[in-house]
Structure 1
Amino acid sequence: MPVKPKWEQLADHIRSQIESGELSPGDRLPSTSQLTAQHGVSTTVVRQAILVLQTQGWVQGVHGLGVFVAER
């Protein structure tokens, strides 16, 4: 079975944090640079993961403020 791309692994990780309640609706996600450092990935990987989570309705970006867990 092929290994998932890093952006998909990161999106899965954040999604599982939301599903488990570790991150609640309204919580702010760490910044791109924090996620980059925590997971040892590039900013491109972080941005792709966040974009996928936004598209799926898990998170929403607020310009100038950050990315927050969406109400589900």
Structure 2
Amino acid sequence: MPVKPKWERLADHIRGQIESGELAPGDQLPSTVQLKAQHGVSTTVVRQAILVLQTQGWVQGVHGLGVFVAER
């Protein structure tokens, strides 16, 4: 089985936090800088993971404020 790309592993991790209730609707995700440091990944990896989660409806970005867990 092929290894998942880093962005996919990060997206899975955040999705898991949302599914478990660790992150609730309306909660703000850590910043890109914080996610980079916590997971040892690049800005590109963080942005790709967030983009995928936005596309899937798990999170929503608010310009100038950050990324928040979406109501499901």
TM-score using structure 2 length: 1.00
Aligned pair count? 72
Q: Which runs of 5+ in 1 are unaligned?
A: none
Same amino acid, percent of matched pairs: 92
Deviations 1:3-40 (A, max 9, x none): 00000000000000000000000000000000000000
Q: Distance in 2 between matches of 1:33 and 1:40?
A: 10
The CA RMSD measured in Å over matched residues stands at 0.2
Measured in 2, the distance between the counterparts of 1:33 and 1:63 equals 17
Runs of 4+ in 1 over 6 A off after TM superposition: none
Q: What are the superposed Cα offsets for residues 39-72 of structure 1, whole Å, 9 maximum, x if unpaired?
A: 0000000000000000000000000000000000
- What 5-or-longer segments of structure 2 have no aligned partner? none
